[in-house]
């Protein structure tokens, strides 16, 4: 039986790292993982991190185009089996 397991992340970077860990370290099928903004609006989380925290665009000589969309948390959810649940919960 499949179980929906969900984690919430303040940053896009945290959500992306969790997905990579599930896929690379635990063999979870990437197609089974869904990453979405918590609300209706586009969001890269509720805190600035990673490339969003860099001054400038992160590329020499290129100006920043815009500010990050900080409109709420990022949800990562997985429909996994009961046997996968402990591993997934430990990452999320």
pLDDT in the model for residue 62: 60
Query: Could you tell me whether strands 2-9 and 33-37 are parallel, antiparallel, or unpaired per DSSP bridges?
Result: unpaired
Q: Is residue 57 part of a domain?
A: no
Q: Is residue 84 part of a domain?
A: yes
Report the share of the chain in percent with pLDDT over 70: 63
Quote the number of domains for the chain.
Answer: 1
Q: Is residue 37 part of a domain?
A: yes
d(CA 14, CA 19): 9
> Domain limits at 9?
2-51+68-91
Q: Is residue 12 part of a domain?
A: yes
d(CA 29, CA 7): 17
Whether 90 shows a pLDDT value over 60: the answer reads yes
Whether 6 shows a pLDDT value over 70: the answer reads yes
pLDDT band at 60 (very low <50, low <70, confident <90, very high): low
């Amino acid at each position: 039986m499949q179980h929906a397991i969900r984690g919430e992340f303040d940053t896009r970077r945290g959500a992306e790292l969790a997905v990579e860990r599930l896929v690379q370290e635990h063999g979870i099928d990437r197609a089974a993982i869904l990453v979405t903004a918590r609300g209706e609006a586009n969001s890269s989380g509720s805190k600035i991190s990673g490339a969003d925290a860099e001054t400038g665009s992160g590329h020499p000589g290129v100006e920043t185009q815009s500010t990050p969309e900080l409109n709420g948390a990022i949800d990562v959810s997985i429909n996994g089996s009961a046997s996968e649940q402990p591993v997934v919960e430990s990452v999320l």
